Amino acid sequence: MKIQKIFHYAYIIFAVLFISDAITKWSDNRNGAYMSLVFAALATFMFFFRKRFSKKFEDRNNK
């Protein structure tokens, strides 16, 4: 279970990396920047989705 928690935060790290990539690409390549922002949003969504799903799974196992 601890390794799963590490991967939760890996999604946040990837989101930050994609946001920084979007900022650097913004003036030169807007389409590339938009793609980086989409991936950052997807990584953020996956963080919250996986965190919620694992919490439900733990609650179910503790009953």
Q: How far is CA 50 from CA 26, 30, 32, 41, 58, in A?
A: 30, 30, 27, 14, 12
Q: State the pLDDT at residue 11.
A: 94
What residues does each domain of the chain span? 3-59
- Model's pTM, two decimal places? 0.82
pLDDT in tens, 34-49: 999 999 999 999 999 9
